[in-house]
Each structure stands twice: as structure tokens, then as C-alpha cells.
Chains A and B, each alone.
Chain A
Amino acid sequence: MTETLNIDQIRADFPVLHQQVNKAPLIYFDNAATTQKPKAVIDALSAYYEQDNANIHRGIHTLAERATTAYELTRKKLAAFLNAPSTDQIIFTSGTTAGINLVAQTFGRANVGKGDQIIVSNLEHHSNIVPWQMIAEEKGAEIKVIPVSDAGVLDIEAYKALLNPKVKLVAVNHVSNAIGTINPIVEIISLAHEVGAKVLIDGAQSVAHLAVDVQALDMDFFVFSAHKLFGPTGVGVLYGKRDLLESMPPYQGGGEMIKEVSFSGTTYNELPYKFEAGTPNIADVIAFGAALDYVQAIPSEALAAQEEALLAYATQKLQLIPGLRIVGTAPEKIAVISFVIDGVHPQDIGVLLDKFGIAIRTGHHCAQPLMQRYELVGTCRASFAFYNTFEEIDRFVLCLEKTLQMLG
């Protein structure tokens, strides 16, 4: 039997959960947008500013050394978290979006030419579409799209048919933010490699729910945001294969990313600093280290079991509501439920649930092409984390029923 989590104890670690919103206890079901932060992360942030604040990598004084060590420690933790072969391959960015843009503007700029192709999927977040459109437009390349089934599953046969030697990059998310589908990235990656294409996996929605081993998965690029993994906003991670990162031109120029600067020419720093120009987000990177410690201390099987149970319970209860349809019913999905209700606009549901103290997300979830595919103006999305409870789901369903009565 797997260990079960002590949810009360876990909830006690998240200060934000203990409050009233609109005179009702907060129910936070918008974890796919951003997760809440454990006290350990908040404490790490203030401890850094209270005790260690200094600029890193430059000073020789004690504070600079402490800050540098703490900052680099998060990189080490991340290398272990992802099973990366080396810390040099862990590049700090400001988030998933920044990581994707970095790869588009460096790898993309150097490797995508006229008539080449970039493959994305119909399930992507705008941040894994627009940066590729920008580089494709600039280079005269084409964007090809892997179609998605009614259930929300990518069509792998269609993907195979799209692959050819002109494809330079495949950019797909590990997990869809809008409907929760877990994509078959092992297959996606190996098929791309057969035609010589590289793959960027957007892990924004997967890292909080699934174990990621970048070597076992043979990842070329993997990007995610700390804020969706119980860490602070403003920090992201780009993992890349060493040969790719080394051959890529630098992105932004500035301090930190150089070896030597003179007016006759500048040489660039080594990995990972070549891609980290300027003073980075030191405090939040250090606090992110505390988030990694926190999640890794939770037994992963128990965490997955809790999320699976929440998903199954909520799915079963929501299906009993007349007129409600779940959008995204892939057999493999994380604890995200997108739904629509006949004759009711998602926004109305979101506004009224907020009055009951319940936070969900409504709208297109930055995935307009997917909404177009399903001919929807948007959906309501409830996304769970391990600190959510069955009682919260009960109250959510009850309040949703009341909401529908009010709108009826």
C-alpha cells in the first residue's frame, strides 16, 4: 500500500490557503495558472534579503560568496531533479516563455532556414506557438501542426506523416495546460530524431505532476517555470543538450555572459553563463531551491495518488451535473478538468464561483487554436494540486450547482 499524505499537515505549510475570500473559505483550483508557495519558500526569500543579499559571481566579499553559493546550489538541485548530466546545462531564465524565446532566437535563428519546417501541436499554449511563428516568418520557414482528436489526444499517425528532413524543430508540451492531456513525448522525441529534427518540450504543466528524466527521455530542450512548481514567479529553467547549447549563438549580450570584452572583439563565457546576461533573479532562484526541497520531500507516489484520486472524484461528481461536458478526456491526463455547460458562458460561472470563494480559470487558457478546434469560446478549468481536498471538491460542485441555478 502506498503511503497517504497528511493533507492537513501539508495545508498548514501554505499560508495563502488559510483565508476567507468573499466571506467564504478560499478554494484554490487554479493551480495550472500558478501554484501556491509553501512557507519554506517565502522564508527563504526573506532570509535571503535579510541576511545574504549581494550580487553574485562578481564580489569577493562574504555576502557575495554566500549569495553565489546559494544561487548555484539551486542549479545543482535542478540538475539532480531533472537528472541532467551536468549543472552547465541548467540555464536560468525568467520563465517558460523566456526559455522558448531563447531557443527560438538562438537555435532557431541558427538552424531554421527558408523552406524549413517547425512542427507544433494543436494543444500548445500561445507561448509555444508565437515565438516559432516569429522566427518562421523571419526565415521564410513553415509551421506545421499536429492535429488533436475530440478527446484531446495528439494524432501520432498524422505527426509521422508531417515528419521529413525539412523539419528542424518540433515544439510540443509535455502536458496541455488547457485540458490536461499528457502527451507521448518519448515517441514524439524518437520519431523527430529519426529525421534529424530537434525537440523542445514545454514542461510548464508537467513538472509539478510527473517525474522528468531528461536523459532517459533523450530531451534536446526542456523548459519550465518555477512558479508552477511551488516556487516564486520570475524564474524559469532551460535544459539543453550540451552540444546544442554550445553551438548556439548567445541570446542577450551584457555582463556575466562574456569572457573578455574589447572593442576589437568579445569572447563569450562558458555554459551556462553564456545565456545568463546581466544580474539574474538571485533571490527567487534561491527561494526556488527551497521549493524543490519541499516537493521532493513529499513521497512522489503518495503525491501522484492524491492527485489521481482528486481527478477521479471530481470527474465523477461533475459528470452528474446536467448539461456539463468535460473537454479533454484523454486516458492519460493530469489533475485538470476543463468543462463547458450548455447555454452558459464560462465567464459567468467564474464570476459567481469567485463570489463563493472558489478560484477557477475561465476563458481560452492562452490556447486559442485549441478552442477554435473545439469551436468553443472558452472553458471553465479546475486544476488541482496535492494540497486540495475532497471536501473542497464537494463544496465546489455544490456551489457550481447553485451558480447554475442562479444563471438558469
Chain B
Amino acid sequence: MGKSINEIQEELIEEFGLFEDWADKYEYLIDLGKKLAPMSDAFKTEENVIKGCQSRVWLHAEKQGDLVVFQADSEAIIVKGMISMLIRVLSNHTPAEILAADLYFIEQIGMSQHLAQTRSNGLVSMVKQMQHYALAFS
């Protein structure tokens, strides 16, 4: 049994709790971005591009057994860091778990500005798209 979505969120909150100032937090985020498992080039297609992003973001999903597995990438490293967290939280869960998820960690770690519409970085669309996939697989 893997960790639940909320257990992973708590882990992230704890990890980010170690940082006092924003620069350390962002360095960690950038690091997460750099360490994101590479997405296979075959999935970096036009259809997998998430619309409405200042930087291009690709998302691919597939079902492995009962679980939805995501792969994603972005040209921008901070977005990639955010993606890496979203994948860590949501990937390898059942469609029902993904659809029921409340992503409270984003606000708790002080990154909610990246989900604001004005950022036009498409993370909002990315979360929606992940949920669409979950719905399609359910």
C-alpha cells in the first residue's frame, strides 16, 4: 500500500517547513524541478500540451492496474517544480482518490500564487487536466 494523498501532502508541508526564507524554498522547488523524472519524448506531443501557459507544459496519463500514473514536463523550471509536487501527490492513486483530492498543501507551503489565474502558468489547467484524466479512467 502506498501513502495516501494526504500523507504525501503532509510530507511536503514538513519539508517546506524547514525553510525560513523564500529563497531557500524556491531553491528547493527548483531542485525538485530538476529532479523530476524525465518525460518520454514520445509523450511531448501537441495534444499533450496544456493550454493557457506562459511556458509549455506537457501532461501524459495512463492507467496501470487500478492506478493513474502521470508524467509531465515544462520548459520552465519553477513550473516543473510545481509539477513534480503535483505528480508526487496525485500519481499512483485511483481515479476516485484523485477526484476527491483537496490540494491544501499548495497554500500551506506558500505557493498558492502559482495557482492564481493571473500567473498564466497553467497550473490551474494542469490540475484540472489531471482530474479530467482521472474522470476518464474511472
Q: Mark A residues whose CB is within 8 Å of B.
A: 22, 345-348, 351-352, 355, 362-363, 377-378, 402, 406-407
Contacts and interface: CB of A to CB of B under 8 A. Distances in A.
Contacts of B121: 347
Contacts of B22: 22, 355
A377 B26 contact: no
For the complex, would chain B's binding face be called helix, strand, loop or mixed by DSSP majority? helix
Interface string B4-41: 00000000000000000011001100100000000000
B75 A377 contact: yes
A407 B30 contact: yes
Among B26, B76, B77, B121: residue with most chain A CB under 10 A: B76
Contacts, number: 36
A377 B30 CA distance: 20
Interface string B56-91: 100000000000000000011111000000000000
A377 B56 contact: yes
B54 interface: yes
A345 B30 contact: no
Interface in B78-119: 78-79, 114
B125 interface: no
Nearest to B23: A406
A125 B56 CA distance: 21
B55 A347 contact: yes
Contacts of A402: 23
A22 B26 CA distance: 14
B109 to A, nearest CB: 14
12 contacts: A347-B78, A347-B79, A347-B121, A348-B76, A352-B78, A362-B54, A363-B54, A377-B55, A378-B54, A406-B26, A406-B30, A407-B30
A345 B27 contact: no
B65 to A, nearest CB: 36
Given A347-B55, A347-B121, A363-B54, A407 B23 contact: no
